[in-house]
Amino acid sequence: MARTIQSLERAAAVLRLLAGGERRLGLSDIASAIGLAKATTHGLLRTLQQEGFVEQDPSSGRYQLGAELLRLGNSYLDVHELRARALVWTDDLARSSGESAYVGVLHQQGVLIVHHVFRPDDSRQVLEVGAMQPLHSTALGKVLAAYDPVAHNEVMESDFAAITELTVTDPAEFERGLERVRARGWASDVGETWDGVASIAAPILDRRRMPVGAVGITGAEERMRSDGALSPRLIAAVRDCARSVSRDLGAGRF
Amino acid sequence: MTDAHDDTSGAPREYIAAIDQGTTSSRCIVFDRDGRVVSVEQKEHEQIFPKPGWVEHDATEIWTNVQEVVAGALAKARISKEQVKAIGITNQRETTLLWDRATGEPVHNAIVWQDTRTDALCRELGRNVGQDRFRRDTGLPLASYFAGPKIRWLLDNVEGLRERAERGEIMFGTMDSWVIWNLTGGTEGGVHVTDVTNASRTLLMSLRTLQWDEKICNSIGVPTALLPEIRSSAEVFGTARGGALDGVPVASALGDQQAALFGQTCFSVGEGKSTYGTGTFLLMNTGPKAINSYAGLVTTVGYRIGDQDPVYALEGSIAVTGALVQWMRDQMGLINSAAEIETLALSVDDNGGAYFVPAFSGLFAPYWRSDARGVISGLTRYVTKAHLARAVLEATAWQTREIVDAMKKDSGMELTTLKVDGGMTSNNLLMQNISDFLDVPVVRPMVSETTCLGAAYAAGLAVGFWNDVEDLRANWRRAAEWTPQMDAAERDREYQFWLKAVKRTMGWLDEES
């Protein structure tokens, strides 16, 4: 057997102890039960407490299992919860950008649209919630591939089909694109999925700064560009929206 | 949020502030000319439960909170009071307050609309006619929600109050009146007014004359000396004195549901809106005609702009909608968050034959059966919690259908589109169900704050910030639309099952003694 890390074994012992029997234990009970010095045990407990795996009752000073353990076992964010949290911010994004807004999550080998806000003009539009988009060509998909390792695996195993003449079909070139996405904090798609259509997207992060989805806008290239490049105002609007939703989900400022 | 300083014209931008004095909190929202939210400030107040069924608010606390949220919203928007062209008011309806004209002190906590202490009084007031005694004149059934009987209870139960009231020392108001009186100076010349929509919820106003009905006031036992002047919903009542908005015109008042109707720009006959929260309120514009309801709805004033003709509305309410989802979460523990009901429901294709009628405290519109209690029917071994989640969402959709059918019956008008707002509009499956069951498109506007927006719109119209309702319509933006996708035969079959399930709730309790 490979070398193991002693302090992790000890921490596991503390958790097992708190998970069984009395459930709320004082420092000396814990120390004697696992056969360690009080100071060492206290160090373990303090670290576990910082990570949220253990909580200390403020009045009795006793320790018990923390809420974080429950979350670990049930950690994915419900997509409908994501939509409810994103609603206000994406309405604002659609209004300020004048384009339609989308929230997408990874689903199987693609992007599942979980929320869609119409472009704020009087044109006839169809709700696209439930539709799937490709990972390798859309702005939403690139954001997911850049930030979520599972999405990255999926896209690298895909066939990089040419959807338009501009779709990136070379995995190495795609990978270099993802590095740019990580460096800038946003992704774009200019005519790579739909001719003449551009989109911009940014990541939504949860309280552990894990990527849970992407938010973006999509519109005609002519409206999305200014002076040849994607409009900085629109990029800022998308990133502001992503930050706002992330903050609502408990992520710190970034 | 939007930066208030990104104007290109150079002139300082102008805004409207709306105060929403609601049941659980007071809010102030600043809107720009496009009807976009610039800033929001909110503060909750205490819910006081002195006895089972009694609910009160401390009106002094509420007024303090209102002043704080107004100052807070202006600060967040980084604008000065000179940039605020008008203040609009919307409020929890029917909540009743009496205060001393000379000192401005409330004589008792406000009695909240949910409070049921006047149940027995309402039965007594119905005499041999019953709860429809004043319906023809006021549009309302004699029920404990409405303000008139609450005033009577206070006069009967606060010592010496009736004498003081008869001497003209006391003022009555719903929360719109309380906020406006205080905003415009209180004891220093505050104006004592209410608007037609709030007055239409007192049981004391004639729907035809839009004035206090002396005969009804007499019958209920309310001296008219107490009552505020009834004004339109959109006109300048006075100017704010002191505080963060000193000198700004106070220019609208609308009950919350009517304000939402206005904010959703339902200005044409047959346009309707439905607000999906804990409960649901559906209002339909019926134009200049007050339509009597024989199908268990309430007739109310929708709004009145200045000296234009009043616009009436039919209103239907559903007691339990979002509350049923909360029940699945809190009492049954089948979901962890309200949003998860959709995830659970989507894990199956249909309701598996199960129907859930949440008649937790009887059946409301259009049945009005207090002897009914909740039922889940159609259960077989096949049914899972996911099917029940479907049934929960379908219950809200079918109840909406029943209200819409009742409106059709009363008014002869067909609802062409349903505009929706409220927290449950984030539930995609529910919105699709409603569209399917009603067989009309369901649309969600881009600004979800329709209640405050309505108050802002009315105030802005009164001071010429917007020219007319067409200006406001032009601001309305569709954020999403759900179109019917259900086969007609299937819809009819499902509706029959629902109606059968409803029948099974009735008569559960024995006749009330």
pLDDT band at B344 (very low <50, low <70, confident <90, very high): very high
pLDDT at A135 over 60: yes
What value does the mean pLDDT of chain A take? 89
Question: Tell me, what's the pLDDT at B10?
Answer: 58
What value does the mean pLDDT of chain B take? 91
In angstroms, rounded to a whole number, what is the distance separating the alpha carbons of residues A89 and B259? 23
| Bridge partners, residue B96, by sequence | B111
pLDDT tens digits, one per residue of A208-250? 778 899 999 999 999 999 888 999 999 999 999 999 899 888 7
CA B364 to each of CA B163, B360, B361, B413, B466: distance values in angstroms, whole numbers, following the listed order:
38, 10, 9, 22, 39
Contact (Cβ atoms closer than 8 angstroms) between residue A182 and residue A211:
no
pLDDT band at B319 (very low <50, low <70, confident <90, very high): confident
Q: What is the mean pLDDT of residues B247-268?
A: 95
Closest Cα partner for B112 from B168, B45, B66? B45
- B500, B502, B508, B512: CA torsion to nearest 10: -130
Structure token pair of residue B340: 């998860």
Backbone φ, ψ for residue B504 (5° rounding) = -70, -15
Tell me the three state secondary structure of residue B37. strand
Nearest-CB residue to B36 (from A80, A81, A95): A95
Pairing of strands B97-100, B170-173: antiparallel
Segment (H or E) for B376: strand B375-377
Exposed / middle / buried, residue A142 (Cβ in 10 Å: 0-12, 13-18, 19+): buried
The CB density around residue A188, as the number of other CB atoms within 10 Å, is 24
Exposed / middle / buried, residue B65 (Cβ in 10 Å: 0-12, 13-18, 19+): buried
Contact (Cβ atoms closer than 8 angstroms) between residue B46 and residue B483:
no
Tell me the three state secondary structure of residue B163. helix
Tell me the three state secondary structure of residue B93. coil
Closest Cα partner for B423 from A253, A208, A26, A85? A85
Question: Tell me, what's the pLDDT at B375?
Answer: 95
Q: Identify which has the larger pLDDT, B510 or B81.
A: B81
**What domains are defined for chain A?**
6-65 (1.10.10.10), 74-248 (3.30.450.40)
Contact (Cβ atoms closer than 8 angstroms) between residue A238 and residue A200:
yes
Pairing of strands A63-65, B84-91: unpaired
- Global confidence as pTM: 0.82
B98-115 burial code (b ≥16 CB/10 A, e <16) = bbebeebebbbbbbbbeb
pLDDT at B7 over 50: no
Question: Tell me, what's the pLDDT at B230?
Answer: 97
Instruction: For residue A71, list chain B residues with Cβ-Cβ distance below 8 A.
Output: none
Lowest mean pLDDT among A2-11, A215-224, A237-246, B197-206: A2-11
pLDDT at A32 over 80: yes
Exposed / middle / buried, residue B246 (Cβ in 10 Å: 0-12, 13-18, 19+): exposed
pLDDT tens digits, one per residue of B362-400? 888 788 887 889 999 999 999 999 999 999 999 999 999
Residue whose structure tokens are 């939504």 = A204
Contact (Cβ atoms closer than 8 angstroms) between residue A242 and residue A203:
yes
Q: What is the mean pLDDT of residues A51-80?
A: 78
pLDDT at A253 over 60: no
Is B36 touching A (CB cutoff 8 A)?
Answer: yes
Instruction: For residue B338, list chain A residues with Cβ-Cβ distance below 8 A.
Output: 84
In angstroms, rounded to a whole number, what is the distance separating the alpha carbons of residues B221 and B132? 18
In angstroms, rounded to a whole number, what is the distance separating the alpha carbons of residues A143 and A183? 11
Closest Cα partner for B483 from B423, B411, B386, B416? B416
Interface touch B448/A95, C-beta < 8 Å: no
Contact (Cβ atoms closer than 8 angstroms) between residue B260 and residue B444:
no
Question: Tell me, what's the pLDDT at A75?
Answer: 56
Closest Cα partner for A234 from A251, A219, A248? A219
The CB density around residue B379, as the number of other CB atoms within 10 Å, is 13
Nearest chain B CA: its distance from A254 CA (Å): 17
Instruction: For residue A236, list chain B residues with Cβ-Cβ distance below 8 A.
Output: none
Interface touch B477/A80, C-beta < 8 Å: no
pLDDT at B44 over 90: no
Instruction: For residue B427, list chain A residues with Cβ-Cβ distance below 8 A.
Output: 80
In angstroms, rounded to a whole number, what is the distance separating the alpha carbons of residues B254 and A60? 53
pLDDT band at A72 (very low <50, low <70, confident <90, very high): low
| Bridge partners, residue B376, by sequence | B356
Q: What is the mean pLDDT of residues B93-99?
A: 95
Interface touch B481/A125, C-beta < 8 Å: yes
Instruction: For residue A83, list chain B residues with Cβ-Cβ distance below 8 A.
Output: 339, 426, 428
pLDDT band at A52 (very low <50, low <70, confident <90, very high): confident
Structure token pair of residue B466: 């917007």
pLDDT tens digits, one per residue of B154-184? 999 999 999 999 899 999 999 999 999 999 9
In angstroms, rounded to a whole number, what is the distance separating the alpha carbons of residues B92 and B197? 12
Nearest chain A CA: its distance from B342 CA (Å): 7
Exposed / middle / buried, residue B489 (Cβ in 10 Å: 0-12, 13-18, 19+): exposed
Residue-level length of chain A? 254
pLDDT band at B455 (very low <50, low <70, confident <90, very high): very high
Full strand arrangement of the beta sheet holding B249-255: B37-44, B25-31, B15-21, B84-91, B249-255, B234-239
Q: How many CB pairs under 8 A join A and B?
A: 64
Q: Identify which has the larger pLDDT, B37 or B419.
A: B419
Q: What is the mean pLDDT of residues B348-362?
A: 93
In angstroms, rounded to a whole number, what is the distance separating the alpha carbons of residues B173 and B355? 43
Residue of chain A whose Cα is closest to the Cα of B337: A81
Is B450 touching A (CB cutoff 8 A)?
Answer: no
Interface touch B339/A84, C-beta < 8 Å: yes
B22-46 burial code (b ≥16 CB/10 A, e <16) = bbeebbbbbbbeebbbbbbbbbebe
Tell me the three state secondary structure of residue B373. coil
The contacts of residue B231 (CB under 8 Å, 6+ apart) are B193, B194, B195, B196, B237, B253
Residue of chain B whose Cα is closest to the Cα of A80: B339
Among B326, B340, B477, which would you mutate to test the A interface (most chain A Cβ atoms within 10 Å of its Cβ)? B477
pLDDT at B513 over 50: no
Instruction: For residue B342, list chain A residues with Cβ-Cβ distance below 8 A.
Output: 80
Residue of chain B whose Cα is closest to the Cα of A117: B479
pLDDT at B2 over 80: no
Q: Identify which has the larger pLDDT, B114 or B315.
A: B315
Structure token pair of residue B492: 């009819």
Question: Tell me, what's the pLDDT at B343?
Answer: 92
Q: What is the mean pLDDT of residues B348-372?
A: 89
Nearest-CB residue to B343 (from A80, A92, A96): A80
pLDDT tens digits, one per residue of A187-219? 999 999 999 999 999 999 987 778 899 999 999
Residue of chain A whose Cα is closest to the Cα of B424: A84
CA A31 to each of CA A21, A55, A65: distance values in angstroms, whole numbers, following the listed order:
16, 16, 16
pLDDT at B105 over 70: yes
Question: Tell me, what's the pLDDT at A70?
Answer: 65
pLDDT band at A254 (very low <50, low <70, confident <90, very high): very low
Lowest mean pLDDT among B37-41, B451-455, B490-494: B37-41
Is A94 touching B (CB cutoff 8 A)?
Answer: yes
Contact (Cβ atoms closer than 8 angstroms) between residue A137 and residue A167:
yes
Is B480 touching A (CB cutoff 8 A)?
Answer: yes
Question: Tell me, what's the pLDDT at B4?
Answer: 42
Complete DSSP assignment for A127-152: --TT-EEETTTSHHHHHHHHH-HHHH
| Bridge partners, residue A56, by sequence | A63
Closest Cα partner for B243 from B182, B300, B301, B303? B182
CA A214 to each of CA A102, A185, A197, B167: distance values in angstroms, whole numbers, following the listed order:
8, 11, 18, 66
pLDDT tens digits, one per residue of B207-253? 999 999 999 999 999 999 999 999 999 999 999 998 899 999 999 99
In angstroms, rounded to a whole number, what is the distance separating the alpha carbons of residues B480 and B445? 7
Residue-level length of chain B? 513
pLDDT tens digits, one per residue of B59-75? 999 999 999 999 999 99
Is B292 touching A (CB cutoff 8 A)?
Answer: no
Interface touch B480/A117, C-beta < 8 Å: yes
In angstroms, rounded to a whole number, what is the distance separating the alpha carbons of residues B195 and B205? 11
Q: What is the mean pLDDT of residues B263-286?
A: 92
Is B447 touching A (CB cutoff 8 A)?
Answer: yes
Structural Rg of chain A based on CA atoms: 23
pLDDT band at B6 (very low <50, low <70, confident <90, very high): very low
pLDDT at A68 over 80: no
Structure token pair of residue B430: 């529910």
Pairing of strands B442-445, B418-421: parallel
- B364, B369, B372, B377: CA torsion to nearest 10: -60
The angle at the Cα of B440, spanning B353 to B432, to the nearest 5 degrees, equals: 50
In angstroms, rounded to a whole number, what is the distance separating the alpha carbons of residues B48 and B110? 10
Question: Tell me, what's the pLDDT at A2?
Answer: 67
Complete DSSP assignment for B272-290: EEEEESSSEEEEEEEETSP
